[in-house]
Structure 1
Amino acid sequence: MKKENRFCILCLLVLVLVQLGCAERPPVRDRTKFFGQVPEPVLTLPERQYPGSLWQERNSESILFMDHKASQVNDIVTVQIVETVAGTGVSNSKYEKETELGFQVDALLGLPQSLGMNNFLGLGEPFQPGVKGKSVNDFEGKGQTRRSGTLSGTITCRVVEVFQNGNMEIRGSREVTLNREQQFIVLSGVIRQEDITSFNTIRSDNVADARIEYYGEGILADKESPGWLARVLDWVWPF
């Protein structure tokens, strides 16, 4: 009896280990593409044509009326995150089907209808060849889902690539650590220079192919997710 109990316990442990291997793990985020350094572009400045002149091309960026919007690789631009998402879905399904089936044999090859079985199965009734049935299938289902979310804030991004048509790919990230809890904000996308304001800012709804992530890692993030045993039992439980 003890050997059987040990064998059952061993099988249970093996089953738990197998379920742990099948349990879904949170995806590992690749931070290198967000926190990696963008190589500095090599700029070649022209020689001074007029050494004694007050006007120098290399100092043109400091002119009072010069546009200081982001336009080159490694220029920075501030993105104002104003994201609001709301969605509602309602579905109703109803299915009803009723089927009746019946037939009766009045004569069979000249034989009497009861085929000589006047006391069928000892019930005192003659045999009556026939079938009668009824089937009813009814289904009704209703469902409703509602989801909403709001994210606001600011993040400063860098220009990582300038396309031929003038559009720019930006990428930015911010990491804040508080009480051993890390909070990350990551943003990437494509912007147009004409959408940038005179204060070198742009709204997130003007960012094409925008990818905005806001997540945390640490004790609080771990406590918000169920434990491994709860995930295994939820995966195994058939109901």
Structure 2
Amino acid sequence: MRPITVAALSLSALSLAACSTAIEAVKGPELAPIGYPAALVPVEQAYLPEPTSASANSLWRTGARSFFGDQRARRVGDILTVAIDINDRAQTQNATQRSRSNSASGGVTHFFGLENSLGRAFPGGFDPANMIGTEGEVTANGSGSVNRSERVNLTVAAVVTAVMPNGNLVIQGRQEVRTNREVRELTVAGIVRPEDISSANTIRHSQIAEARISYGGRGDISRMQATPAAQSLVERFSPF
């Protein structure tokens, strides 16, 4: 009974792994969760309680901001602007050439006294001194090149979802724009230092640690540009 249970568990694990790989092949790769360190689980959206109002004869209100105070985001629920300006270009070329050759030979001087009689068994004759001979040669040539260029220039508002013990801020922002039957999605998440936020309450994407930036869409255009699901599965699992 136990071997059957182990086999069933193994088959279930393989099925789940294959299902996960198939889903990734169809939907595309997912972004990794934000980490600080990398083992930190994703932070959920936080909501602030409604502040209590002060009495009418008080000079201050709970949650009020001073006109001359720092207006930069520093608390959970505050909003800041993220400026995304990505202009990456990468070009890589490599070539590999390998070759190897070897040869070996061997003979037998004494073989139970039959070394001279073996020649009658072979039509072409037999030389005991050159009984064994091997030769081998291996040649491999390979080359590859990568030429990539990316350009993204956008701005998105993000919300502070958590304040870490050292004062760093965990931010997350999402923006959706719908045009006809196409929805464009922009998401940004990461960890920022309060000192890197400018006086205009903005920060550059290059100053975000563990940055996760995604720009894509869904709709008719994206569906027409995407590779069909069956073709993606064949290309991924084909052994040739």
Q: Which residue of 2 aligns with 1:11?
A: none
Equivalent in the alignment of 2:203:
202
TM-score by length of 1: 0.70
Distance 1:220 1:228 in 2: 16
Residue by residue over 1:32-62, the C-alpha shift from the partner in whole angstroms, topping out at 9 and shown as x without a partner, is xx9x9742334345556xx4x9xx2229625
Identify which range, 214-223 or 224-233, moves more after superposition. 224-233
Note if contact 2:84-2:154 (Cα within 8 Å) is conserved in structure 1: yes
1:76 aligns with 2:84: no
The CA distance in 2 between the partners of 1:101 and 1:207, in whole Å, is 62
Distance 1:139 1:67, change over 3 A: same
Distance 2:161 2:20 in 1: 40
Shift of 1:112: 6.4
Alignment of 1:1-239 (within 5 A): 23=22, 24-26=25-27, 38-44=46-52, 47=55, 51=57, 56-58=59-61, 61-63=65-67, 65-106=68-109, 108-110=111-113, 113-115=116-118, 117=120, 120-121=122-123, 125-129=124-128, 130-235=131-236, 237-239=238-240
What is the Cα deviation at residue 21 of structure 1? 11
For 2:125 and 2:191, how far apart are their aligned partners in 1?
A: 87
The 10-residue stretch of structure 1 (208-217 or 192-201) with the greater mean CA deviation from structure 2: 192-201
- RMSD over aligned CA atoms reads 3.5
Q: 1:163 to 1:45 in 2, by over 3 A?
A: farther
Residues 175 and 187 in structure 2, CA contact (< 8 A), matched pair in contact too:
yes
Q: Distance in 1 between matches of 2:107 and 2:114?
A: 15
The percent of aligned pairs where both chains have the same amino acid is 29
- Post-superposition Cα deviations, 1:146-200, rounded to whole Å, max 9, x if no partner, equal 3332221100111222234332221111110111101000111122222122211
Kindly indicate whether the alpha-carbon contact (under 8 Å) linking 1:186 and 1:214 is maintained by their aligned counterparts in 2.
yes
* Distance (Å, rounded) in 2 between the aligned partners of 1:28 and 1:100: 49
The match for 2:12 is: none
Partner secondary structure for residue 206 of structure 2:
helix
Mapped partners of 2:178, 2:140: distance in 1: 53
Tell me the secondary structure at the aligned position of residue 26 of structure 2. coil
* Structure 1 residue 218: Cα displacement: 0.7
CA contact (8 A) 2:192 2:208 kept: yes
- Which residue type is aligned with residue 77 of structure 1? L
The range that moved more, 99-108 or 65-74, is 99-108
Q: Is the 8 A contact 2:45 2:161 kept in 1?
A: no
The amino acid that maps onto 2:153 is S
- 1:4-25 C-alpha deviation (Å, 9 max, x unpaired): xxxxxxxxxxxxxxx9998433
- For 1:106-143, what per-residue CA distance to the aligned partner results, in whole angstroms no more than 9, with x for missing partners? 554455635461x843xxx4333423332111222222
**Cα distance change on mapping 1:202 and 1:46 into 2, 3 Å:** same
Measure the CA separation in 1 of the matches of 2:186 and 2:144.
34
Post-superposition offset of 1:76: 1.2
Unmatched runs of 5 consecutive residues or more in structure 1: 1-18
Q: Which runs of 5+ in 2 are unaligned?
A: 1-17, 32-41
**What amino acid is aligned across from residue 61 of structure 1 in structure 2?**
R
Deviates more, 1:136-145 or 1:212-221: 136-145
Distance across 2 between alignment mates of 1:99 and 1:29: 49
Going from structure 1 to structure 2, the CA distance change for 1:233 and 1:187 (only over 3 Å counts) comes to closer
